[in-house]
Structure 1
């Protein structure tokens, strides 16, 4: 596709624009300067932020200039939530989060070469503004009757809790960012999720009101599964980009488990695969869904993007070892811990029989049931079939001295964790 806007539409990355015709022309005439912003309201970027990062990455690859903003000042305030007031974080907490998120964002964009991205922090241009200057120079351009119509603000105003002036003023601060970047860098496009439409539009209005300038907005859809639930949640837990918060193995498994009906949509959004490759994977979903080739491709591509090729190989090895016939001994200690952390299991010791281990980890209800399973050939330890009910666990069976993998059939897997003392 020669038109970047057409490609973004095909990939499902366009929800709304202020003026599609004008934005198409600006992108075609380019290069234009755009910005995407991240507030440090959490200790790490997450699934939703990844959508914005891949969008900015595509636009940079198409030749446009990217400003990546980390909200050192807006993070001190917090974008209003529709249901409750945010708990303010200390300046030190926000500064730490800014540094961490900045380092994460830098890995997705190119900051050297002929078209380098630029990292900016809005604390640099807001911390010196006095309260009087803020009200006179920026507040005068906003009308309260328009501000209260924003969805989150309206929801809070209609609640018993109400909304503080601190959070009410957030949209002015974000609009100020767009005005500053318009003036300083000639930035004429801001991108964000569709639920940020109101805040971003406030920046467009401020540019027009304060400077008589013209700017664009491009928002991305909120990605939801077939049931309407937002992607990026796994049993109530966010999918973080920080490997300490969501391990590369858990990250990889999240993408492997995407439903057939949704995998092509996510391949378009998150990978660089072209039309022909995705069409082929789509055909495989129809012809041989049991192979889950599209999910494997999605998991490998996105895990490599976020965590690197080495972490992806480790996750693939762990997946093959746990759910296939791979060699469990290739797993490093950290990956083994991540991969077995949420498995059912129990405590056992070297010298315990396999029969006792099956009962301890919950694979069998009783010793007699465990013996029958072994006799029927349905039990393995570390992917090696067990044939003798009197066999015991040896020191070598505990991978990295920690865990032996006990399997019944192909699907029932448990962790026999070594008991100390």
Structure 2
């Protein structure tokens, strides 16, 4: 077989298996280069559609204040991994690549990113960078990326509806039992108002909203190595039973069963829902008024406790980039105090540096302080095959959730029946 044909086949194979093995042989040697250059170079960058507006906000500011210019390509979430796989196999990755933190361990271990250890080690605030993201972007002690965005799951609640229902607007539920009680009270307001909501047909939405409840209750969903599901436990069953019960009792909008994600926060944002567990980035786009006054809190467990799902994105330099120094110029600028505070915090984003949590904008909006604390309180699960197992609408997690929440019978035995399928998917079967 000729070299060109062999390269083409290799590229297609990499795309097909989503970097399961192809990049291992091309892992780049460690670099000692720590330069950052702003010389008018055009830098390419990719991100997924969910992060498009966030990335554009940063890039617009960078392009307006630097000689370098970043050309951003935003890709659909559902095809992003395949595009990265194909580009990695063909050695056509962009200069900058932002990826979901859940997939970063795979990319870091397969040579998709340039080794940035020497550059990252020059940062005086290195130890203050989000721990979960740095862990995800580190392989065998080497740093292949840095935190780009932090999104934490929080319990959003509408203080206006709390007060209208005779509840304390400054006291969110401290347990799921209390959440159920509060949801009933809010539902009694009638006129199309519901106490709680979720996206029953959105796999990622359901893990973001239910997993913190399971963690806060003292149980788990996945082993530490990311190779086996542990969702077959009574606590997970009780959490999903509660979801099913609230739906059956009409405390949740009927549309929740078929909500696949695109509009899953709309009812809350319109002031028609009392409580919802969702990502903190939603706060940027919610318009508050007399009928919607947003409070945020940790996600509670069945009888107490608190937790969060820590998500977001990692940013790295593409392994075949010829503009690493220019790419690092953007990264170091993005991580600087001025950018983190006066660009990100100003627009209600959680900073990726712990030392900047109590910035001037956080002091003006205490919710940002709460959300930043959740980044240290919550968990970020890791699994090489996370995407196909938990984010695929046709994956085993979605089948398990739909069956447990909307099927017949209690959730615990239902989860036991599905657990092996989830574990097999995590193993790559």
Same structural fold, with TM-score higher than 0.5 when normalized by the shorter chain: no
Structure with bigger gyration radius: 1
TM-score (norm 1): 0.23
TM-score (norm 2): 0.23
| Larger relative contact order, structure 1 or 2 (CA cutoff 8 Å, min sep 6) | 2
